[in-house]
Structures are given as C-alpha cells and as structure tokens.
Amino acid sequence: MTNVTCDVLVIGSGAAGATIAATLAESTNLSVVLVEKGAYYGAEFFNQRELDMMTLLAENGARSTADGAIPVAGGECVGGGTTVNYALSFDPIPAVWRGWRQQYGLKGFSFDATSNDYGVSGLNLPAVLRDVRTRCSVHEPADAEVNDNNWLFAEGCRRLGVSARKFELNMRGCIGCGFCGQGCAYDAKRGTMVTYLQDALQKGVRLIHHCSIDEVRLVRSQRGMHAVGASGAVTPTKPGSRSNTTAPGPVTIQANLVIVSAGAIESPALLQRSRVPDPFDRIGRGLVLHPSLPIAGIFDHKLVNYRGITGSYYSDHFYADHGFMLECLFDHPIDAAIALPGFGVEHFELMRQYDSLAGFGAMLVDTPSDGNRVSWSADDRKAVITYRLTESDKQKLRYAAARMVQIMFSAGAKEAILTSNEPVTPRGNAIFRAPSEAALCEKLRFAPNETLVSSAHVQASVKMSEDPRTGIADSRGEVHGVQGLMVCDSSAFPTSCGANPMIAIMSLARYQGRRIAGEQSRYFGPNRRSS
C-alpha cells in the first residue's frame, strides 16, 4: 500500500486536469498530485501505426454506447484527448456561456476583460483564454499547409455559396505527417502533455500514471460531508511508457481538495461509485455527444487526403439555423474501413480507391435529454453510455447529409458515400451518383448499427448549476453538499459548449485554477467553507 498526502489531488491529466494542476503550481505553494489512469507515452512512442496507437484510447478505441451504435472516442493517456485529437481550436462562445448564466444561474465567467471575478484580480474569461492560446500556440494554418482534401471541401462550399473558413490549430512547427490522431511524434501539436503538464512537473507537481481511482473518499462530520482524498491502484507500467513515480499496488491519497477532471464519461462514473449524494438524480444525465456523420467522395484522380494537416477548413454556415458545423477531416485506413458501407467485394472495391477518396463530416450540437446518460455498472465494472438521437436531431442530420452530398459533388466527386447501409437510393444503398439524389437523405432513419455516427466531444454529464435540482456542482465547480470536492472538465458544462471543446475546457480549468489560488482560505485553513 502506498500512502500519499497532498493539498490538492487532481484526477485526470487531459485538457482540464493538466491545466488546472499547472495553474495551481504556478500560482500557489500548494502541494499537488496529478493522477492519470492511462500511460505516459511521449513522442518517442508514437510510431504512426494506427493499430498500435489504439492503446492511447479508452477501451483501446472500442468504447461505444451501450447498443454499440455510436463509437465514443476519448484519450486514456497522459494528456487525454489533447494527445489524440486533431488540434482543432475554438474559443469559448460568449452566447453559450451567457445562456448558461441565464438558464443555470452561473456566476462569474465574465467576458469583460476588465472584470475581477470573485474579487480575484484580473480573473475573467478573456484573460485565461489569452493564456491558453499563447501557451498552446493557437493560430491559423498557412495556405501552403492546406492539403487536397481540405481544398476540395473549401472549393465545393464556395461553388454552392456556402461559407467556409480555416480552423485555428494548437500547433507549432508542424511537418504535415498527417498522424495527429495517433499522437504527435514531433511534439508539434501543443496538447497538455507538452505544455501545461511540463509546466506542472517543473513546478513540483507529482504525476502518478497507470493509476485507476476506485473512489473519492467521503466522510461526515459536524460540518457536513467532505472529501478527504481518494483510493485506487497503480498498475504495472506498460511497455513504451515513461517511468512512474509510484510502485504498482494499492494507493491511498489524502488531500484537502479533490478535483475530478476525468472527462465526461469517467467523472460521473467516479462520482456514482463514490456514492456522492445525488438527491435529484442528476449525475450522468443530459449527456451531450456532438454526434458526427461522415461522408466520403470518390474522385477520378489521386488526392493528398490524410497527409499534411488533416483538418484545416470548416464551415459554420448552417450553425445558427440548423445546429451543425461541417468539418474537414480524413480517416486512416482502419477507421475508414470501419466507416465505409458495404460488405465483401463491394467494401473491398471502395477501400481500393482509398487514395482517391475525400472526406469531411457534419458535427451536430445535440439537444440535451435526460434519457441520454452515463451510469456506473458495478457488475461490469465500467461506465455504461446510454444515448439515442432525438427526432429533431435526426432531422437536422438528414438536412446536413443532403447538404454534404451536394458539396461533395460540387467539389468534383464522381460518387458521394454516406457511412450508412440504409437503402436510401434506388440501388439499395447510401452511395449517391448525382447531386439530384441528395434529397433522398430524407429517407435516413439513423437506425442503430446501420448508419454510423461517431463522437469525440463528450460533455455535460456533471452539470454546473447554482440550483442543485438541475446540476451537481455550482459555478465554482464545487459539488453541492460536499466540501472539498470539485468537478472541472467538459462534464461540468451545462450543455454543449457549442464547438470542439478543447480550448473551452482548458479555459475553464485555467479560470478555476486562478480562482482557487485567489480564494485559498475557502479550501485550506480554519476558515474553509462548510457544506
């Protein structure tokens, strides 16, 4: 048994965890321990082999909804999702955060750059966003870095009068290898593993990886319920991982403040198995996935489709009226083979044309529903994801599919292919041969396991709300009724943050870290708050 004592325990090393740990280490003299369930792989490990790099993902890339219909990707390694994503960087959207203020009563999170939220000098969202953007080298790529796939998408949009623009990306010195999603072998992608984690380590934060937390330890006293740490186990270090600071075996960590930053699947599961009070049955409910529907197009010439920067163009043309963005990305062969429709010879013939394929997808800002949730299964010892598209969201995706078919043909494709085996065309498939067939997308039923939609942006499962009837944590991220326990990650968003969430998560974490530093007496010492 290993016993560890610290002031602050942060659970999870992704966009939120590494950022808040580094911020606390930079701004205070508090002792901080950062734990991560996955391994600590560095650039030397990332071999650009798609199958090998599945080890970076939750459940080795096999995590999905309970019915197997929607793959739910997420990083399970040091750096979390920032290690395996495509560097797409969107600032927090003011209208979304202001809506949370109105609907959920959130306090703070001012977009006024002169504001001093919670009485902390210079604390506001523009200030922390500036820090994050600078530390992660967020910028727009040059034209020379745009590959064929992205140019075709942009041109297809232009010809139809659909606006398109470049993503901003957290990169520095990218050589265009095309393997962002398998970990950057050149440390050019500026995720938390190479930015805030390194800052944290240099400031004395202790990183324990390969560490599964079984429960947050809660005790009752005359002052109410409070968290006193966590218990779990450290597993043997996997081949290729950097060395650990803690030997394998059971571990107990004592802390005055526990910050759960394990992501929107694992955070609610951890709270549930820790028996955190949930009188209104809110933990895990209202899950948001940002369901994404891909499309491929066959061209009559070879393309640079995955090499270069994988994603450099997107369109928010339909965002305001229809709730989705079009984002240009491209899959490597294994993921492409999973996504493309058909069986046997038909599927093989599509894969033979891999180097003549283009691709992009629709990312839907989905409607929260209480029936969509995360729940911890004690029998299976895993988080169970229950999710169904609402009828209104299905209609939005039908509209998106039709627009994507039109754009693909406008870009010059011979055929447009949805990731579906539903018989929507006269040929009994979802392979379109003319732009006039786009209207057939109205036939899509989005039947589970027939039409593939995927997810990589899980959010809103441990919502912030000042009213405990609608959320588990308040605006500070403090869990209602439990002293010394916070949630700080995408799960704390009350609804979708409105775009790819990485920069919004990091801004939230930077904000809460600076706030804690300015309110230390709230958590440490004789005057700390009571639940």
What would the pLDDT profile of 82-121 be if each residue is shown by its tens digit? 999 999 999 999 999 999 999 999 999 999 999 999 999 9
Q: The CATH number of 143-167+292-365+390-443 is which of 3.30.410, 3.40.390, 1.10.10, 2.60.40?
A: 3.30.410
What would the pLDDT profile of 120-145 be if each residue is shown by its tens digit? 999 999 999 999 999 999 999 999 99
Surface-to-core class of residue 525, CB atoms within 10 Å of its CB (0-12 exposed, 13-18 middle, 19+ buried): exposed
- Determine the average pLDDT of the residues in 478-489: 98
Cα torsion angle, 165, 169, 172, 177, sign: negative
Between CA 405 and CA 437 the distance in angstroms is 8
What integer pLDDT is reported at residue 529 of this predicted model?
A: 57
Q: Tell me what percent of the residues of the chain surpass a pLDDT of 70.
A: 99
Strand-by-strand arrangement of the 138-139 sheet? 88-89, 168-170, 138-139
DSSP classification of residue 403: H
What would the pLDDT profile of 307-358 be if each residue is shown by its tens digit? 999 999 999 999 999 999 999 999 999 999 999 999 999 999 999 999 999 9
What integer pLDDT is reported at residue 223 of this predicted model?
A: 84
Tokens for 531, please give them: 């639940």
- Determine the average pLDDT of the residues in 152-161: 98
Between CA 271 and CA 486 the distance in angstroms is 11
Task: Please state whether the predicted TM-score (pTM) of the whole model is above 0.85.
Answer: yes
- Determine the average pLDDT of the residues in 37-59: 97
Domain boundaries defined on the chain: 2-137+182-277+462-522, 143-167+292-365+390-443
What fold, for 2-137+182-277+462-522?
FAD/NAD(P)-binding domain (3.50.50)
Residue 530 has pLDDT above 80, yes or no: no
Tell me, what amino acid is at 104? Y
DSSP classification of residue 454: B
- Determine the average pLDDT of the residues in 291-296: 98
Asked if domains 2-137+182-277+462-522 and 143-167+292-365+390-443 share a fold, the reply is: no
Q: Are strands 211-221 and 373-377 parallel, antiparallel or unpaired?
A: unpaired
- 528 — pLDDT class (breaks 50, 70, 90): low
- Determine the average pLDDT of the residues in 501-527: 94
- Which residue has tokens 């198995």? 273
Cα torsion angle, 159, 294, 341, 330, sign: positive
What would the pLDDT profile of 364-411 be if each residue is shown by its tens digit? 999 999 999 999 999 999 999 999 999 999 999 999 999 999 999 999
Phi and psi dihedrals of 200, rounded to 5? -65, -45
Q: Are strands 324-327 and 357-364 parallel, antiparallel or unpaired?
A: antiparallel
Mean residue pLDDT across the chain: 97
Tokens for 413, please give them: 């494709």
Residue 527 has pLDDT above 60, yes or no: no
What would the pLDDT profile of 195-211 be if each residue is shown by its tens digit? 999 999 999 999 999 99
- Which residue has tokens 């960590």? 253
- 525 — pLDDT class (breaks 50, 70, 90): confident
